[in-house]
Amino acid sequence: MNLKLTLLGIFFSINIFSQTKDSTASKDNFDFEKPVFHSKEIIVPATMMLAGVAINGNQDNSIKNQVKDWRNDKMPNFRTHIDDVLQFVPYISVYGLEMLGMKPEHDWKNQTAILVKSHIINLGVCYIIKKAVHDTRPDNTALSFPSGHTAEAFAGATMVSMEYGKRYKWVPYAAFGTASVVGAFRIANNRHYLSDVLFGAGLGILSTKLAYWTHQYKWNKNKTPTTWTDPLDGKVYSK
C-alpha cells in the first residue's frame, strides 16, 4: 500500500465531501430559512467518525500505525506550530469575511450564539471521549483520540461554509481545505494518528450542524429588508 497516496486521498475526500449542501440553493435567492435537519447531512460526518473508530486498532500492521511509521521514516524531525493557529482561522473568517464586505446568512448575534454552542458541544464531547478512551499519542503522551485541533478546525469550516457557502462557492473549498491542512499537520507533527484526525473531523462537522439545527434565531427576526452590493460581481442584492 502506498501510504502517502492513501493519506492524500483521504484528506482530499474530506475536503470534497464536507462541502455537501442543498443543491437547490441559488446565488440569486438570498431569502434563506432556518437550517432544517436532514438525515443525509449526517452521512459524511458519521462516516468519518466510524472510519476513525474502525482504523483505531493498536496492532503493528494497523492502518494508523502504518501511517505513523511512514511519517517517522520520511519526516522524523518535522515540527511546526502552524496547526495551532490554523485551527482558529475558519472561526475568525466567520466575522472577518463580513468585514471585507461579504454577506453572511445571519447577523453577528446569532453567529456568536451558534459559535458558542458549537464550541461547547465540540470541546465537551471531545474531552469526554479523550478521557474515556485514554489512547496514547504517537509521541507517547496521553489523550490522543480524537484530535481536538482537527475537530476545532472542521467545526469552524462548517460554520463559515454555512454562513457564506451558498453565495460564495469558493468559501467551502477554502474552509475545508484549511481544516484538512490542520489534520495533516497533526499527523506530520507526530501528535495524532490518522484515526484521531478522521474522528475529529466528523465530530467537528456534526457539532456545528447540531448547533445550527437547534438554534432558535431569536434576534433580528423582523429585520427591515436591506440592499447590499456583492464585492465580487458588483451586483446589488436585497434581503
Full-model pTM: 0.79
**Residue 238 predicted with pLDDT over 80:** no
Rounded CA separation 131/124 (Å): 11
Domain spans of the chain, in order of start = 48-72+83-216
What confidence score (pLDDT) does residue 216 get?
A: 80
CA distance 199 to 235: 41
**Is the pLDDT confidence value at 235 over 80?**
no
Neighbour tally for 217: CB within 10 Å: 16
Section 58-75 average pLDDT: 93
Name the CATH code of domain 48-72+83-216 (choices 3.40.190.10, 2.40.10.10, 1.20.144.10, 3.30.200.20): 1.20.144.10
What CA–CA distance (Å, rounded) separates 136 from 143? Answer: 6
pLDDT digits (tens, 9 = 90+) for 23-32: 333 333 334 4
Express as a percent the part of the chain with pLDDT over 90.
69
What tens digit of pLDDT does each residue of 133-180 get?
A: 999 999 999 899 999 999 999 999 999 999 999 999 999 999 999 999
**1-20 residues labelled b (16+ CB within 10 A) or e (exposed):** eebeeebeebbeebbeebbe
Q: What's the chain's average pLDDT?
A: 84
Report the number of secondary-structure helices (H) and strands (E) in the chain. 9, 2
